[in-house]
Amino acid sequence: MFKHNDKVTCTILSTKITDARISINIYGRPFICQNEKDGEKTKNLLGYIYSWALDKDFTDSLVTDLRRVEKTWHNLDYGDVIEGPIENQRTILVAFPNNVYAVSFNDNKNMSSCTYAAKYLQDIGYTIVQEVEEEMIEMTLEEVAKLKGVHVSKLRIKE
């Protein structure tokens, strides 16, 4: 659903939060880090003042409308991916000062190959790769057995 450092918006106790990020601690507990509502603390506040604890399924009865912020050319961040006009040409952003991006063409986030203005990248056909949430698929053992063409007794579930 969400990952550490995702940009989000939400409402906490009727207060609309428009600048926030998800922090996930070493135990897998997620928090909304933001500057509006003080809640249960996490060690990694991601540069914000407050955090608000969530259940591991990213819910809380006092939090509504928790959504990932769609990436735009104005809010791209370290590690975000843009796609070039040539098929399968992916580029990882490694810096973003003043809307100028250093890019890596070899999936190495620690080594930059070139620096371009965002406007230039857009003009030559680069687009932002948005994260797509994978849909959870629920199946019974009988359905899996039918797909595989085996009897249920021949299935063994492993991690």
Three-state helix/strand/coil letters over the chain: CCCCCCEEEEEECCEEEEEEEEEECCCCCEEEEECCCCCCCCCCCCCCCEEEECCCCCCCCCEEEEEECCCCCCCCCCCCEEECCCCCCEEEEEECHHHEEEEECCCCCCCCCEEEEHHHHHHCCCEECCCCCCCCCCCCHHHHHHHHCCCHHHCCCCC
- If you search the block for the tokens 């003009």, which residue do you land on? 123
| Domain parsing of the chain, residue ranges | 7-68, 71-152
Q: What is the mean pLDDT of each run of 10 residues along the chain (159 residues)?
A: 91 96 95 97 96 96 94 76 71 60 60 73 83 70 86 81
What was the pLDDT predicted at 70?
A: 86
Are 32 and 44 in contact by the 8 Å Cβ rule? The answer is no
Question: How many other CB atoms are found less than 10 A from the CB of residue 25?
Answer: 14
What was the pLDDT predicted at 109?
A: 55
The separation between the first and the last C-alpha atoms of the chain, rounded to the nearest angstrom, is 20
What was the pLDDT predicted at 45?
A: 96
What was the pLDDT predicted at 114?
A: 72
Across-strand partners of 95?
Answer: 102
Burial of 34: CB neighbours in 10 Å, binned 0-12, 13-18, 19+: buried
Q: Is the whole model's pTM more than 0.85, yes or no?
A: no
Q: How far apart are CA 74 and CA 122, in angstroms?
A: 12
What was the pLDDT predicted at 18?
A: 95
Residue type, 71: K
